Amino acid sequence: MRHLVSVSASLAAVALFCLWGTASWSSGHVPDPSTGGTAEAPAPVTVEDDLNAAVSLLLQGEIDAAIDTVRPHLSRDARAADLLFDAGTSMLNSAAALPPSEEAARNALLDASIALFRAILAEHPGIVPVRLELARAFFLRERDGLARRNFETALAANPPPPVAANINRFLAELRARKRWTGYFGMALAPDTNIGSASASEIVMVDFAGQLLPFTLDDGGEKSGIGVSVWAGGEYQQPLAPRLRLRMGGSIFVREYERKQFDRVRLGLHAGPRWLIDPRTEASLLATYSREWQGGKPSSRSAGARLEASRRLTPRVSGQLGASWSAKRHDGSTRSDGPVSDLSAGLTLAVSPTLQANLRAGWARQRTENASLRNRTLRTSLGASLALPRGFSVSGTLTGSWTDYKGPGFPPSNVVDGSPRKDATRSIRLSALKRDLTIGGFSPQISLTHERRGSNAQQADYRRTGGEISFVRQF
C-alpha cells in the first residue's frame, strides 16, 4: 500500500495522533539517551519499541508491515489493539471527509483501515466497536455484502438503542442501494466415492421365481480427486422505491479423471424483489437450469421460486422458500415430472462470535413412472465460531428421509417388493483463517462424511470427501 504516502495530509494527522498515544504509553519505559553509560549489549526489544516502529511504518504508508510489527502483542497488550484501532478510525474518518473527486485516495485509506480493523478482529473477534468501524469502512467502500454481515454481527451483541437504530439505518440503506453482487470459487476435492455407489457389487435378481445373485461389472465404489469451479452474479434494477428487478445466473463445474462423473450445472433467474418494510423482503423469480453429466446433457428444469426473509429480533432472522419446476431428462422420460419444494430456516446470532442456524424442508417429485414418485423430509443444524488468532470453525449436521411410492427398477429395486425408503445423514466440518487472503481469495478446508441407508439394492452408500477451496465475494 505504498501509494498511501500520496495522501500526505490524512496520514500526517494519523501519524501525529498515534505518536502522541505511543509516547504516553512508553514514557518511563524507554531509556533516556542523554544519561550515557557503557554500551555493552543492545537492549531487548520492548512492546514500546514495536509500537513506535509501527507508528513510523504507518507514517510511511506501510500498513501491512505495521500490522506485522504489532501482531505478536495483540493477544497480551491492549495498547497494540488501541494503536491499530486509533489509526484505522483516523484513516476511516479522513476517507469519509474526502470529496468524490479524490476516489483513489479515498479507497486507499479505506483499504488501509479495513486491514487494520481485520487484524484486531483476527485476535479479538468479539470487540463490537471494531466490528462496527469495519462495517462502516466496507459500507463506504461499497462492499455491501461484507458490510451487511458485520453490521448484523454487531447487532447481535445487543448494543445500546441509539447504536442499534444507527445500525438499522445502515442496513436499510444497504438493502435499498443493492445493485451488483457476485462470487467466484474453486476447490480441489478428493472423494472416496465419487459416484455415490454402493459398496456391494452383488444384486439379487428374480429369475423364474428364484432370487439369483449377479455381479455388476461396473459396480462398487470409485475414489478420485475432483476439481471444482463455481461462479455467480446478480444485478438489481430499481423499478420503484421499494421494488427491484433481479437478474442473475450461476455455473458449477466439477471434473474428475473418470469423465463419466463430470458434472456441469447452469442456472438462470429473474424476477421482482419487494422491500416490504425495513425488516422484511420477498422475491418471486422465474428459474431455469441445465445439467450435463459425463459431458452429455442430462436434464433441464424450468419453474418459479418464492423467497422471503424477515429479521425477527436483533439476533434472530427467519427465511422461507417455495419452488416449483418441471424437470425433463434427456436419457429417459420415466423420471420426468414436476418437483415441489418448501423450506424454512432460522438464523440465531448467539453472540458476535457464535452463530447457529436451523433449517427444515419438504420436497415432492411426481415422476411419470408412478413407482419413482417420492417425498423427502430434510433438516439441518449448523454453527460457526470465530476464534482468536484469526481462526473460524463451523459444522453442519444434515438428515433427509425419502419415501418412494414403489420399489423402483432393477437392479436398485427392493427385493420383497415393498416401497423404497432411504435415510441419508451427513456431517460437514470446516476451518478457515479469517485474516488470510491470497489475491483476494479466502482459503477454507472442509471435510464431509455422508452415509445413506436404504432397503433398495445398490441404493446405499458411504462417502468421505475433503475440499480445499478458495472463495471470493464481490
pLDDT digits (tens, 9 = 90+) for 374-409: 999 999 999 999 888 888 899 999 999 999 998 876
In whole angstroms, give the CA distance from residue 445 to residue 44.
39
Residue 358 buriedness (CB in 10 A; 0-12 / 13-18 / 19+):
middle
At residue 223, the 3 state secondary structure works out as: coil
Percent of the chain with pLDDT over 70: 84
Q: Around Cβ 308, how many Cβ atoms within 10 Å?
A: 17
Of 259, 264, 307, 250, the C-alpha closest to 284 is 307
What residue type is 313 in one-letter code? T
pLDDT-based confidence at residue 179 (cuts at 50, 70, 90): confident
Of 295, 322, 294, 297, the C-alpha closest to 308 is 322
Cell numbers placing 58:
504507518
Residue 32 buriedness (CB in 10 A; 0-12 / 13-18 / 19+):
exposed
Q: pTM to 2 decimals?
A: 0.76
Residues in the chain, overall count: 474
What residue type is 26 in one-letter code? S
Of 313, 51, 299, 62, the C-alpha closest to 168 is 313
At residue 454, the 3 state secondary structure works out as: strand
What pLDDT does residue 206 have?
Answer: 59
What pLDDT does residue 216 have?
Answer: 62
pLDDT-based confidence at residue 211 (cuts at 50, 70, 90): low
pLDDT: is 211 or 296 the higher one? 296
Residue 7 has pLDDT above 50, yes or no: no
What pLDDT does residue 109 have?
Answer: 92
Residue 143 has pLDDT above 90, yes or no: no
Span 36-44, average pLDDT: 49
Only one residue has cell 439476533, namely: 315
Compute the radius of gyration of the chain from its Cα atoms: 28
Span 79-135, pLDDT tens digits: 888 899 999 999 999 999 988 888 899 999 999 999 999 999 988 888 889 999 999
Residue 342 has pLDDT above 60, yes or no: yes
At residue 227, the 3 state secondary structure works out as: strand
Span 127-136, pLDDT tens digits: 889 999 999 9
Residue ranges of E strands in 58-148 = none
Residue 412 has pLDDT above 70, yes or no: no
| Mean of per-residue pLDDT scores for the chain | 84
What pLDDT does residue 220 have?
Answer: 65
Residue 19 has pLDDT above 50, yes or no: no
**Around 225, how many Cα atoms within 13 Å sit in the side-chain half-sphere?**
3
- For residues 432, 437, 442 and 447, what is the CA-based torsion angle, rounded to 10 degrees? -40
Check: CB of residue 287 under 8 Å from CB of residue 269: yes
In whole angstroms, give the CA distance from residue 113 to residue 7.
14
Check: CB of residue 140 under 8 Å from CB of residue 113: no
pLDDT-based confidence at residue 213 (cuts at 50, 70, 90): low
**Around 237, how many Cα atoms within 13 Å sit in the side-chain half-sphere?**
6
Span 418-474, pLDDT tens digits: 899 999 999 999 998 877 777 667 788 999 999 999 988 878 899 999 988 887 765
Strand partners, 375: 364, 403
- Among 16-20, 178-182, 289-293, the range scoring the smallest mean pLDDT is 16-20
In whole angstroms, give the CA distance from residue 281 to residue 276.
5
Of 336, 375, 381, the C-alpha closest to 358 is 381
pLDDT: is 269 or 118 the higher one? 269
